[in-house]
């Protein structure tokens, strides 16, 4: 007997505490594992089943155009001012879709 | 006197005009030689083309010809010019949508599970100019259809003019490039939805002295897939056929590549396109779904009507 507690009861209490600690550790580990697994599955699903954008393409904004023109040379080249002729003749060729 | 010749090339109708009849045969020979080179390099429908080999080896560095590298360079430039509206990495998307062979061979193959394939953007294309090598990352495939035909018209017109020294017009499926001096009054061009329209069909006629013109439309190259109607102009932002606001867009520019890019982008952008075309002084004629027409940036109004 130690401090008035029977030896047998103290051993049982220690065993109970050890068991509770083990359950506590397992609970924390399972919670962390579940969160991690949820994240991994979420990333995998996002990569596998991609949604799609429903917003259509837009032309470059007028603010970015001048920079693009000056730096990248990506602006389309307009025809010379004298491109258009007098017209009115029988057509020689058709511009249309194909 | 203007002379002309017609033949089939690149899966469409080709027409070559020269200002001198005596130079026509030589010009046609030059054009056909150029077209064969371009088809061998850039065709998505030929198993033995360089582009098909590049697509089969997606993810690897592949050695390519100077011509294919030039075509890819132009496609990347157009991508940036149009803010991604004309995207060369839509090859897989359009194949998934059922346009995986020459258009005349397409037919409805019943219900399918539609999977929209977002574009990769020009960022997935790597070019090693010294080694003439290209790599396309991310499992994407290139489709140069939007730019290669227009580039072919530019290259063919220039090559024929340099070889023959006479004014030359080359039309490939309605994408038209001009080189050298024009005939008096300019080259007379009928604007239509279908490049195969008869020359005496009703419609507007313009006269061009220089530059190029291209027309894009959603009214042709439509097909059914799983009961749904598709058209061939995809919006890279969605991976699906572009929402139809303009049914046809015709644009004049300094080169056919730029004209074609602007016309295609106009279809993709819809209503927002007119401001961009005006800002870049690109004469354009846009036809809305209801048939109403707007003319932009000096496109001649009230032009002659063909007989």
Q: What crossing angle do the helices spanning B66-81 and B24-42 adopt, rounded to 10°?
A: 80
CB atoms inside a 10 Å sphere around CB B58: 19
Mean pLDDT (whole number) for A72-84: 81
Q: What φ, ψ does residue B148 adopt, rounded to 5°?
A: -65, -40
Strands A93-97 and B187-194: parallel
* Residues of A in Cβ contact (< 8 Å) with B270: 56
* Residues of A in Cβ contact (< 8 Å) with B269: 56-59
- Cα four-point dihedral sign A84, A90, A94, B1: negative
Task: Give the span between the Cα atoms of B41 and B64, in whole angstroms.
Answer: 9
Does A71 lie at the interface with B, CB-CB under 8 angstroms?
no
Name the closest residue on chain A to residue B87, using Cα atoms: A57
DSSP H helices in chain B:
24-42, 50-56, 66-81, 91-96, 145-164, 256-269, 273-279
Task: Give the span between the Cα atoms of B21 and B63, in whole angstroms.
Answer: 41
The answer for residues whose C-beta is within 8 angstroms of residue A72's C-beta and 6 or more apart is B80
Q: B107 to chain A, minimum CA–CA distance in Å?
A: 18
C-beta atoms of B195 and A89 within 8 A: no
Q: B55 to chain A, minimum CA–CA distance in Å?
A: 22
Size of interface A-B (CB pairs under 8 A): 221
- How far does chain A reach from its first CA to its final CA, in angstroms? 101
DSSP code, position B198 = -
* Model pLDDT for residues B28-46, shown as the tens digit of each residue: 999 999 999 999 999 988 8
The answer for residues whose C-beta is within 8 angstroms of residue B222's C-beta and 6 or more apart is B229, B230, B231, B232
B190 DSSP β-pair partners: A94, B205
Task: Label residue B112 by pLDDT band (50, 70, 90).
Answer: very low
Structure token pair of residue B2? 């203007």
Q: B183 to chain A, minimum CA–CA distance in Å?
A: 10
* Residues of B in Cβ contact (< 8 Å) with A68: 80
* Model pLDDT for residues A43-63, shown as the tens digit of each residue: 887 766 655 556 778 888 754
Q: What φ, ψ does residue B264 adopt, rounded to 5°?
A: -65, -45
Instruction: Answer whether residue B48 shows pLDDT above 60.
Output: yes
C-beta atoms of A60 and B276 within 8 A: yes
C-beta atoms of A52 and B221 within 8 A: no
C-beta atoms of A94 and B182 within 8 A: no
Give the nearest partner residue to B186 out of A58, A85, A95, using CB atoms: A85
C-beta atoms of B196 and A57 within 8 A: no
Distances (CA, A) of B269 to A56, A58, B81, B234: 7, 5, 13, 11
Q: How many residues would you count in chain A?
A: 98
CB atoms inside a 10 Å sphere around CB B246: 26
Task: Label residue A96 by pLDDT band (50, 70, 90).
Answer: confident
* Model pLDDT for residues B188-219, shown as the tens digit of each residue: 999 998 888 888 888 899 999 999 999 999 88
C-beta atoms of A87 and B206 within 8 A: yes
* Residues of B in Cβ contact (< 8 Å) with A56: 235, 237-238, 242-243, 268-270
Burial B62-79 (b: 16+ CB within 10 A, else e): bebeebbbebbbbbbbbb
Note the pTM of the prediction, 2 decimals: 0.78
Instruction: Answer whether residue A67 shows pLDDT above 60.
Output: no
């Amino acid at each position: 007997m130690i401090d008035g507690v029977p030896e047998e009861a103290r051993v049982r209490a220690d065993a109970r505490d050890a068991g509770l600690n083990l359950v506590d550790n397992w609970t924390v580990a399972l919670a962390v594992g579940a969160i991690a697994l949820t994240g991994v599955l979420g990333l995998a699903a996002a990569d596998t089943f991609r949604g799609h954008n429903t917003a259509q393409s837009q032309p470059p904004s007028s603010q970015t155009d001048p920079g693009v023109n000056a730096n990248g040379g990506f602006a389309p080249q307009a025809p010379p001012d004298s491109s258009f002729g007098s017209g009115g003749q029988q057509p020689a060729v058709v511009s249309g879709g194909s | 006197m203007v002379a002309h010749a017609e033949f089939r090339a690149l899966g469409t109708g080709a027409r070559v005009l020269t200002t001198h009849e005596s130079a026509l045969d030589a010009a046609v020979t030059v054009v056909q030689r150029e077209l064969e080179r371009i088809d061998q390099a850039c065709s998505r429908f030929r198993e033995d083309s360089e582009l098909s080999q590049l697509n089969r080896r997606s993810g690897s560095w592949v050695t390519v010809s100077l011509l294919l590298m030039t075509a890819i360079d132009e496609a990347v430039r157009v991508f940036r010019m149009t803010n991604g509206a004309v995207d060369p990495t839509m090859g897989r998307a359009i194949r998934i949508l059922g346009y995986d062979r020459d258009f005349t061979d397409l037919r409805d193959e019943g219900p399918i599970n539609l999977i929209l394939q977002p574009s990769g953007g020009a960022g997935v294309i790597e070019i090693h100019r010294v080694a003439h090598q290209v790599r396309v990352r991310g499992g994407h495939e290139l489709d140069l259809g939007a730019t290669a035909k227009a580039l072919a018209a530019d290259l063919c017109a220039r090559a024929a003019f340099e070889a023959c020294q006479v004014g030359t017009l080359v039309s490939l499926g309605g994408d038209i490039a001009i080189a050298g001096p024009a005939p008096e009054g300019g080259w007379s061009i009928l604007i239509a939805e279908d490049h195969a329209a008869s020359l005496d069909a009703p419609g507007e006629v313009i006269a061009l002295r220089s530059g190029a013109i291209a027309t894009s439309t959603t009214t042709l190259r439509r097909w059914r897939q799983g009961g749904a109607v598709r058209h061939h102009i995809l919006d890279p932002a969605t991976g699906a056929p572009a929402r139809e606001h303009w049914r046809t867009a015709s644009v004049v520019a300094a080169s056919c590549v730029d004209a074609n890019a602007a016309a295609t982008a106009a279809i993709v952008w819809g209503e927002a396109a007119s401001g961009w075309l005006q800002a870049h002084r690109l004469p354009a004629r846009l036809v809305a779904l209801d048939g109403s027409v707007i003319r932009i940036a000096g496109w001649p109004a009230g032009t002659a009507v063909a007989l």
